[in-house]
Structures are given as structure tokens and as C-alpha cells.
Structure 1
């Protein structure tokens, strides 16, 4: 691996970074950290970060990512409500696993979103990365929905999103944002491990009350 190339890219990213992108990066990292910790602050930090990225993605012709950030905004409001209004008799919404039916719905949403977005971007916009952009958007679409429901599997879709977003943003010249997604990948793996433990603990406690 050419480490000097990466160092130069990171340095260039810092030099080209606007204060707006830097602010969005900081809040984005904070949001993922709070999500990993199952902390409600995931939503206010995420809301501000996503609104900023709507504007940034518009400037760089990442139209699908612009749309997904607008979706993040609305789902953050929904998730904030769901997390703070658990079912009667519960202090908070527990972290749980998807059932087979949930997996089927998630995969169907991902596939349909990808096909529709790829078609629209390839044929009706001037995007030069329609398939990459569509993939990150479709996987993030499902990840955000599952996170609002506190499903462990949301992290799997976030990991997929981050792994593809790293080269996508690097290619588009958003070097610092690319490094941010590399860091997100590490946090997402840590989040997956933490939520697995939480879900298993919740299952154990539920079994203990039967």
C-alpha cells in the first residue's frame, strides 16, 4: 500500500476542506459514536450533519446521496420519536434481531431501491457514478430504517455503505469525507459487536422473565 499517497490525500483534503464539510464530518462521527453506544444523541447530531451533506452532495452532483441525506433527516426524526416512546410497560426500546420476514423485507427494499435509483441516475442525471451512488444510497436507506427500529442488522448495511463510500468520495475529490467513511467502517464493526451483545443480553433477560 502506498502510504505516502494516502497521507498526501489526507493532507490535500484538509487543505481543500471547507468549514462546513469539517463541521459535518465532526457531527457525523459523533452521530455514529452515539449510535454505537445506543445513545439518543445519535439523532440531533445526525440531523444537523445530514442537512449539511444535502447541500454538499448537491454541489458535487451526488444526487442519490443528496436524497439519502434528506431521508436520513426524516428518519432521524422518526427514530428519535420511536426511541423515546417505547411500548407500554418498557422503559426503552430494546435492541433485537431481525426475524426471517424482516430480512426478506430488508433485502427487497435494498434491491428495489438500487434498481430504481441506478436507472434514474444513469438515464436522467449527469451523475458520473450512478451505480456506486445508488449502492451506497440503497444500503444506507435500509440501514437507517433498521437503526430506527433498533435492529442489530442495521450495522451490516452500514458496513456495506461505508466500504463503498470510501472509494466513491475519494474519487469525487472529497478526501476528508472518504477518510471519515473509513473511520465509520471501524465504528460500524464496533457497533455491530456492541449491539450483538446488547441483543443477546435482552434475549437472556426476556427468557429469564418467562
Structure 2
């Protein structure tokens, strides 16, 4: 089964990153438990969101199909946590992300090659490609339009606490997810910016509420791990573009 096989061929870095987020989540849980925090459904869902999210992005960086399985879990759980935190732009984004998981799975299935790090031919990686100058211009224009439209909507028709910061994350994320589905390595440049915005979003939310929460700290930890992974993802997808089967293009 690909969910198991996709863990083959991992580098030391990838193992360390996944171990880091698991240890970080356990540490956060213990910290809040020792300080008398009452854990509830939201706390559990936050932990699931963080762990499944890291599994999703690590598999995405590796170009593995199981990224979409973990992506569905992460979209559902993170969407719920965002809803409870009044980050409505993030909620709508997760609905779109959930749909994208199935579209991406279909698109990737037709463009895979055997992983060059393992002898198991059943372990597959996606074929990556790069944007042209025209592609970059379209990407920038679409991102700007989505940002302005989303920011206006959130500011005027919702109770979002940070409408234009929220909108920046939404606009960039929609375009980055589209690039991921279409297998462009430049998606990772956008994800780097998105991760920094998201860290700021959750940190600012806790500052506004003047309260350090498990949900907020868990989300910040998750996005920090995402940021590290995004840098690695660009590096790895560039390597994929160099070693992939050229007959497919």
C-alpha cells in the first residue's frame, strides 16, 4: 500500500523533521497540562491537524501520492480550528484545499516515476517542471486579484479579526496549491511566504487576545515546520526535475 511504501527512501533530514514536530507537539501538550490547561476536543483536533499537516508537506516535498491523503485530514482539522479561532479566510481556504486534494491526486497519477533513492519500483515520485516568464506574470497577476477580492470580502462581510493578513494567506495559498497540482516547483517559493504570513497570523492572534493557547502555539509550531520544509521542497523538486524520465515531456 502506497501509504506505507511512501515512507521508504527518506533522508536523515526528513526523518529528523518529522520527529521534531512530533516531539514539539508532545512538549506543548505536556506544558499546557502542567499549567492546568483543560484539554478538549479542539486541543486534540489541533494536534491532529499539526501532525497530519507535517506529514502532508513532507510527502509533498518528496513528490509522494500520500500527500493527498494527509492533506484531506489536515484540511478538515485545520479548517475546524480556524473556524473556532474566527479566521474565516482560513476556513474557506481549507474547503478549497480539500477539493484540491482529489484534483491533485488525479493529476499526479499520470505523471510519476520510480524514486531514485530506493530499489522498490512501487515507490513513486512526481515529475516536476518549472514556470516560464509568462507563467510567472500570470501567477503574480492572479495572486494580486485573489488577495484584493478576498480582503475586501472578509473586511466587509465577515467578522474576521485580521481580514487583510488572512486574505494574503488565502490568495497565496490558492495559487500555490494550483501550482502544486500542476507540478510546478515554484509553488515552494509561494509556500515559503505563506508560512511566514501564517506564523505572523497566529502569533498576532494570541497577542491580540493576550493569551498563549494550545491551539495557537500548536499552529505556530506547525507553520515553522512547514517553512523549513518549503525551503527543502524547492531544493528537492529541482532535483526531481533533473532526474525525472524525460520521455514524459
TM bracket, shorter-chain basis: 0.7 to 0.9
What is the rounded CA distance, in whole Å, between the counterparts of 1:166 and 1:13 in structure 2?
22
Deviations 1:151-194, CA, capped at 9 Å, x for gaps: 01010111110011112112223111011101110000001110
Aligned-CA RMSD value: 2.5
Quickly say closer, same or farther: Cα 1:92–1:127, change in 2 above 3 A.
closer
TM-aligned CA deviation for residue 52 of structure 1: 1.3
Q: Of the candidates 99, 115, 130, which is equivalent to residue 132 of structure 2? A: 99
TM-score by length of 2: 0.72
The answer to whether the aligner puts 1:197 opposite 2:197 as a matched pair is no
What is the rounded CA distance, in whole Å, between the counterparts of 2:31 and 2:107 in structure 1?
37
TM-aligned CA deviation for residue 198 of structure 1: 1.4
After the TM superposition, which parts of structure 1 deviate over 3 Å for at least 4 consecutive aligned residues? Answer: 10-14
Preserved contact between residue 62 and residue 125 of structure 2 (Cα < 8 Å): no
Deviations 1:82-109, CA, capped at 9 Å, x for gaps: 111349xxx9752000122221221121
Q: Of the candidates 227, 231, 235, which is equivalent to residue 185 of structure 1? A: 227
Quickly say closer, same or farther: Cα 1:94–1:48, change in 2 above 3 A.
same
The answer to whether the aligner puts 1:83 opposite 2:125 as a matched pair is no
TM-aligned CA deviation for residue 13 of structure 1: 9.5
Q: Which has the higher helix share?
A: 1
Aligned residues: 196
What is the rounded CA distance, in whole Å, between the counterparts of 2:167 and 2:98 in structure 1?
18
The answer to whether the aligner puts 1:165 opposite 2:208 as a matched pair is no
Deviations 1:106-127, CA, capped at 9 Å, x for gaps: 1121001100011111111111
Quickly say closer, same or farther: Cα 1:13–1:112, change in 2 above 3 A.
farther
TM-aligned CA deviation for residue 64 of structure 1: 0.8
TM-aligned CA deviation for residue 200 of structure 1: 2.8
Quickly say closer, same or farther: Cα 1:56–1:196, change in 2 above 3 A.
same
What is the rounded CA distance, in whole Å, between the counterparts of 1:35 and 1:135 in structure 2?
22
Q: Of the candidates 48, 61, 70, which is equivalent to residue 73 of structure 2? A: 48
Mark the runs of 5 or more structure 2 residues left unpaired by the alignment.
1-23, 113-123, 207-215
TM-score by length of 1: 0.85
Name the structure 1 match of 2:12.
none
Quickly say closer, same or farther: Cα 1:122–1:75, change in 2 above 3 A.
same
Preserved contact between residue 104 and residue 181 of structure 2 (Cα < 8 Å): yes
TM-aligned CA deviation for residue 12 of structure 1: 8.0
TM-aligned CA deviation for residue 206 of structure 1: 3.5
Q: Of the candidates 133, 139, 156, which is equivalent to residue 172 of structure 2? A: 139
